[in-house]
């Protein structure tokens, strides 16, 4: 059976985070991940994870002010960026979360981003540090706009715990062939996500046929379901049993 992780940044958002974790377990997800859990005490999250037996795969660094979409590449804001990284690492350790996604922000520069990623990788050798390329339709001007640029960043720094978070949705929106892109960067991948292309709905429709694609991806861990349900999350899950068996 193929495993999936519920991204609680989009799923069951009407529930407090611990209850969303429980809902994901009840629905048959094998893991969870989140965006910004910081308003929930980490001990409450840790209890829900222990109760359900689900691992938390990843969480994001704080996004900064409205419109920033992250801080790590923004020159002159290094203190904010590193505080956000340190907060994320502390929260991840308190909850047993495996990875921290360091959000780059819009524009910025490579030197600042790489210096802040170095801080993250050296501060948390016990965690995976993730970076993600976001498509320009969703986040115009994001510092990492292509998988190639994200891969070049990982390769330039060379930290073994620095990996790519590859979202099939973002690839499908602007870069085309998901399988070829995945295979080209396979050695650097630390997490894989999915959603329908182009509407970011449940992964049961659109231009990417996940029933055909997933068996070709040699990903051993859960795939992150980071999609926007059109209505209640529970009503959007008809895809889960089918893709679990493909």
Number of Cβ within 10 Å of residue 76's Cβ equals: 9
132 catalytic, yes or no?
yes
148 catalytic, yes or no?
no
**Structure tokens, 3:** 């495993």
Alpha-carbon span 63 to 172, nearest angstrom: 24
Q: Which residues contact 203 (CB under 8 A, 6 or more apart)?
A: 194, 195, 196, 210, 225, 227, 239, 243
3-class state of residue 231 by DSSP:
coil
**Which candidate in 33, 80, 148, 226 is catalytic?**
226
Q: Which residues contact 115 (CB under 8 A, 6 or more apart)?
A: 78
**Structure tokens, 223:** 């795939």
Interhelix angle 78-95/110-123, rounded to 10 degrees, is 30
**Which candidate in 80, 132, 148, 175 is catalytic?**
132
Q: Which residues contact 92 (CB under 8 A, 6 or more apart)?
A: 56, 59, 98, 99, 100, 124, 127
Note whether 75 and 109 are within 8 A (CB): yes
What residues are labeled active site?
132, 226
């Amino acid at each position: 059976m193929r495993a999936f992780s519920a991204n609680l940044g989009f799923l069951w958002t009407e529930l407090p985070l611990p209850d969303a974790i429980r809902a994901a377990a009840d629905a048959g997800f094998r893991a969870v991940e989140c965006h910004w859990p910081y308003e929930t005490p980490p001990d409450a999250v840790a209890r829900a994870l222990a109760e359900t037996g689900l691992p938390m795969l990843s969480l994001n660094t704080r996004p900064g002010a409205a419109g920033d979409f992250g801080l790590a590449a923004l020159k002159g804001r290094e203190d904010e960026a590193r505080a956000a990284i340190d907060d994320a690492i502390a929260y991840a350790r308190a909850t047993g979360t495996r990875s921290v996604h360091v959000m780059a922000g819009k524009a910025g520069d490579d030197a600042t981003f790489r210096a802040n990623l170095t801080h993250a990788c050296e501060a948390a050798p016990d965690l995976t540090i993730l970076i993600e390329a976001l498509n320009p339709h969703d986040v115009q001007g994001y510092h990492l706009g292509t998988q190639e640029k994200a891969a070049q960043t990982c390769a330039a720094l060379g930290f073994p715990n620095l990996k790519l978070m590859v979202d099939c949705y973002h690839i499908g929106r602007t870069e085309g062939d998901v399988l070829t892109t995945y295979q080209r960067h396979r050695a650097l991948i630390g997490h894989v996500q999915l959603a329908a292309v182009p509407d970011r709905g449940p992964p049961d429709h659109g231009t990417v046929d996940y029933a055909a694609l997933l068996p070709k991806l040699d990903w051993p861990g859960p795939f992150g379901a980071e999609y926007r349900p059109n209505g209640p999350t529970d009503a959007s899950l008809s895809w889960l049993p089918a893709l679990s068996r493909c």
